[in-house]
Each structure stands twice: as structure tokens, then as C-alpha cells.
Amino acid sequence: MLLSGLGKKFALVLIFILSVSGLLLVESCVAPVTMPEHPSAAPEIVSVILYNNPVISPPMYTTDPFTGETYQTFPGGYIAPRGNVTIQVRNPFFEPYTDENGNYINIYYVCYWRHTDTQLDWSSNLLTSTRYVVYQSGSVYTDIVFTYGLEGMIGVRTEHFDNCEIVDFRIQAVTGYFKQGVVYEGKGSEWTEFTVTIPTSDDHGISKPTIRPTSIGPSISNSNNSSQQNSSQSTLIVALIVSVCIITILLAVITYQHKQRKTMSLPTQTQPQ
């Protein structure tokens, strides 16, 4: 009975550990976006349109309940940045399909942005949180919209807003599939880079800034792919080490409990009279 109970416990523990390890290994072994030797052309940026709609706080007043006099308690006029940037990309022709694993294969755009004055390198891990991914539309163009301001996707710092905010963008087309925030797979194109200036607080309405996109070849992008692959390998190693440690500890505990029960179950020998 004890051996049977030990076997059941060991089997349950082993199944649990393998299940957890399997989940970690599946995510770790997912191939990142790769750069072929001859990548496709960088995305063609057709236009960039800014719609600036800042929030302007009105003045506030109050009335004295005794005299009936109304006076101003807040002068108003405070301006908070708000608006959006719409980037229109020309879609290359591609017929979407579902592969043998059930993944929807299409072209999607990977977008990064950074504030110019931060001087962050594009391969910095800080940019992971500013990645935005979207499948291309079924028409000729895809509109990629970024909101900016205090609650927007692009945070505009109010202390810089009166002097404009300069934002760098980098966009790549990838043939593959993604699950937002989890998996990104496929073959990447060259990158397109350009800079957009967020207008000052007193500029309202729509504007179309002149941009000069720059095509970036695979040499820079490969550094990003290499960091992704190294990260995946590190996660795989950590997952294996943690799994081995957990299995070892649990086996030691189960073995110890089994010995304790076996000792307690031995009959007490009596001395002959």
C-alpha cells in the first residue's frame, strides 16, 4: 500500500512538473522574427497626419453665499497635450492563409517609437513596452494610429510640450503571425525610420508634416533578432534548472515521508521473559 501511495504521488508530481515545464518550453522555443539574407523592401509610408486636440481647462468661479458676489478661484488656461498621429502604409500584395498549426499567416507591421532626446538605442530592452503590432488591412493602405498625450500611447511630457515633442518611429513589415504581447513569428523586411514633431500647445487641427523615411538594412535589425534569441535561450535554461530543482526537492520530501511511515509501521518487538 505504501509503495502504491508513493507511486501515485510521484506520478502526480511528475505530471505537474512536466506540464509547467512544457508551457515554459513552448513559449521559450517560439522562433523570433528573423531577417532573411535578402529581406523584402521596407514599408512604404504614404502619409503622416497629426490631429492636435489639446485639453484646455476653463476658468473656475464660485459665489459667496452671504454677499452673492462671484469671483474667480482658478484662472484656467492650462493646456494638456492630446491628439493622435495616423501613419498610412501602402500594403504589399499578399494572400493570407492558415498554416498546418492553425496559425493565421499574413503581413503585420511592427512599430517602435522613442523620444529623440532620450537617445535610446533601438535594441534597448526599454523599447519592448513601446512596441505596437497590427495586421495589414484588406485594402490598399493600412492606417496605424498612435494617440499621444497624458493618457495616450505616446506620452508627451508637459514640460516639453510648449517647445514641441520630437518622436522617432521605426516600422517593419513581417510575414508571419503574432499574438499581442506573447508571440511574434515570421520573416521581417527592412525597417523604415522617420521623425515626427508633435505640434506645440497653441496649434490646433490637422497637419501633414513632411517626412523623409529612411530604409534600414538587416545589419541593425539582426542585433534585435540576436537579443531576442539570446533572451529565449536564457529563459529555456532557467526553466530547465527550476524544473530540475523542484523535482529533486519534491522527490526528497516524498522519500523522507515514505521512510517515516515505514519506520512507524514496523511492529514493536518485545523482549522474551
pLDDT at 225: 46
Q: How far is CA 84 from CA 70, 148, 196, 204, 206, in A?
A: 38, 6, 12, 12, 10
Pairwise CA distance, residues 93 & 107, whole Å? 9
Q: Is 114 a residue whose pLDDT tops 80?
A: yes
Report the chain's terminal Cα–Cα distance, integer Å: 34
Q: What is the pLDDT of residue 71?
A: 84
Q: What does the pLDDT average to over 209-227?
A: 61
Q: What pLDDT, on a 0 to 100 scale, did the predictor assign at position 53? A: 86
What letter does residue 156 receive in the DSSP assignment?
P
Please state, in angstroms and rounded to a whole number, the distance separating the CA atoms of residues 74 and 94. Answer: 57
Nearest to residue 90, comparing CAs of 137, 133, 57? Answer: 137
214: left (phi over 0), alpha (psi -120 to 50) or beta: beta
pLDDT at 191 over 50: yes
pLDDT single digits (tens) 245-271: 777 777 776 776 666 666 666 555 554
Residue recorded with cell 513601446: 130
**pLDDT band (50, 70, 90) for residue 171:** very high
Question: Degrees (nearest 5) of the Cα angle 147, 149, 152?
Answer: 40
Query: pLDDT at residue 88 above 90?
Result: yes
Q: How far apart are CA 72 and CA 223, in angstroms?
A: 58
* Whole-prediction pTM: 0.64
pLDDT higher than threshold 70 for residue 57: yes
